[in-house]
Amino acid sequence: MSTDAVYAKLTEIFHDVFDDESIKVTPELAADDVDEWDSLSHIRLVLAIEKKFGLKFSAAEVGRLKNVGEFVALIESKMP
């Protein structure tokens, strides 16, 4: 899967989790940029990403992510 395709899938997930179609999913996007991105939304986001991509992450992997770009790198590192 190309990086663009990963971002396209992530965009769908972000729009669904935050119920906001205006969110632009870029590598720099971080929790501080989205008002609704609190701890529970973060959990929903991680679970949705695991489900959509058929992947599992560890707590440590998720805990050190600082922005979407790092999340994409993690996703790509786990994709076959």
Partner 1 sequence: MTALPHARVLALDELAPGLQACVEFEITAQQMQQFAELSGDFNPLHTDDAFARGKGFEGAVVYGALLVAKVSQLIGMRLPGRDSVWASVSLDFRKPLYVGQPAQVEGVVTEVSASTGMVALKLTVRAAGKLLAKGTAEVVLGR
CA distances from 66 to 2, 17, 37, 45, 60 (A): 22, 18, 13, 14, 12
Instruction: Classify residue 34 as exposed, middle or buried by CB count within 10 Å of its CB (0-12, 13-18, 19+).
Output: middle
Return all residues near 12 (Cβ < 8 A) that are at least 6 apart. Answer: 52
58 binds partner 1 (CB under 8 A): yes
In the complex, least distance from residue 76 CB atom to partner 1, rounded to whole angstroms: 17
Give 15 or 44: the residue with its C-beta nearer to partner 1: 44
In the complex, least distance from residue 37 CB atom to partner 1, rounded to whole angstroms: 14
In the complex, least distance from residue 50 CB atom to partner 1, rounded to whole angstroms: 7
Name the segment binding partner 1 (CB under 8 A); options: 1-9, 10-18, 23-31, 58-66.
58-66
